[in-house]
Structure 1
Amino acid sequence: MLKDFFSKKRKYATIPNEDSKIDIPEGLMKKCHHCNKIYYRKEMNKNMNVCPNCDYHHPLRAWDRIGSLFDEETLEEWDRDLTTTNPLEFPGYEEKVDKDRQKTGLQEGVVTGKGVMNGQETAFSVMDSSFRMGSMGSVVGEKITRAIENAKNESLPFIIFTASGGARMQEGVLSLMQMAKTSVAVKRFSEAGGLMISVMTHPTTGGVTASFASIGDYNLAEPGAMIGFAGRRVIEQTIREKLPEDFQTSEFLLKHGQLDKVVHRHDLKNLLTVLLSMHAQGRENA
């Protein structure tokens, strides 16, 4: 059976059912959770974690996304050493954060900084759902707020890539306060003439959706991303109606006027470059 996997003619195998077990060297292959095809991990990485068969957009790690968009020699990371404490003394919280640091190599669930994309310098924040599911705690909110303020002070546009399960429950009201703090920072940035582009990826939910993710000058999203505030089951129980199958997907939001565009990951860099250059020319001509 291993011969089939390593055959030049066959790049993937289908798992017929959950009980089937295939002995594959650890880390060599990756399964698409949408179509169940199995690929070489290198092949998926080369395709920016988009399934070559069904085009499903798997989550992309923060630094992988940054590397796909910005010139490496231009990158400057901000507030890397800003780390989470345990303000409410929630049991086991520090241990879970430390475990995620070791697993991801990140200090927190967002990377912020600035860099050059096709000749256009911009500030950025990139959330990573592999760190505490991208949940927004006080440090995540602080780093995003500082990034927006730095963009304002340096007269740079600001791009944010969101991926979050919502507010971080272990920090209680301190987490919820980040919704107001980040939104106020965006408001001040906008009043100063700043350009903000929000790119929502799978999943963008809860307090992140209800704050900075939805108030960009351009609100974009990747295909098939789940975007919403409350969960589907909660909404159905509240309104006592069955929701459409595509409810809370990026395509559903686009159809109902809540997004400007759904953009394939392979096309995103070109579109962002066009938007950045267009507004740069507008500032020069003003």
Structure 2
Amino acid sequence: MANECSICEKELNEADDLVTTDCDHTFHRQCAQERLDTKNRTDCRACGQDSALGDALARLKIVSEGECSICEGLWTLEDDLVTTECNHTFHYACAQERLNKTNKVDCRSCHQESALGNALALKNLTKKGECSICELEWNWKDDVVTTICKHTFHRHCAQERLDERNKADCRSCGKESALRDALSRNTRTTNIKKSIERKPITIEARSDTPAASPIRNEPRTEKKEDTWKCDECSGTNLMSAKRCSCCGEPRFAAFAASAAQIQRQEVVTKTDYNQNLSSMRPSRIDGRQSLYPRIHGKFWNYLIRKKIIF
């Protein structure tokens, strides 16, 4: 076995994923598959034997379809693919978009460092050519489609040719429906990515969560300020008013008048009481003290001392 892969010119190891042709030339399986996919070359890279590399890859029974772990959509060998050195395959458009938007170069499946970035770099080096519809050059930065017969065109050129001329065959080799099928696959891959990017995050209401009750516009009840009634004119006034708004009488005039009247009545009552009490005191007769019992003297003084008698 040769020590070098004549495609990438790197050393071969027994632990690598290899493919050997009938002419006994060995290559990295990834390099051989990449050469077949990008250049449509099936001959041996070492000796040029026809179909040797294509036949060797076919014998390996390459998986015909799988899941792209970036968009989680299915890929087939007819799609534009990129395979990492850790043998994980992705849609080329998904891998390139992941690199452009997130700057992540690790493998999306096993997270091997730089695996996806290296695979894209290798593919992009050879991903250029001429669109046989517009006869202008295309490269990996352009929006292109690749047919099952491995011919690549600008997508807008292919779509315009199909829409305006109703030609679905390959512009390069004439394979029937190749262009239509390529556009269909390309649209399906694009829609898968867009549906994932634009998928809205919905939060379903749980059955055990009570629904929010609608806000009701209930009339607001204004708190009325307390009032007082005038004793003079019976007018109603706010509590903050110090005078009656109808007659101008002070709010507490009636209370003040009644308090003064009560005080005057108390004075009159006390005066009458003292006068009556004085009339009951003993009087002198003929210059001598009356016969009012002397035994009540101490009691009388007690009443005066206790201010019971004024």
TM-score band, normalised by shorter chain: under 0.3
Larger relative CO (CA 8 A, sep 6+): 1 or 2?
1
Give the TM-score, by structure 2 length: 0.21
The structure having more radius of gyration, on CA atoms, is: 2
Give the TM-score, by structure 1 length: 0.22
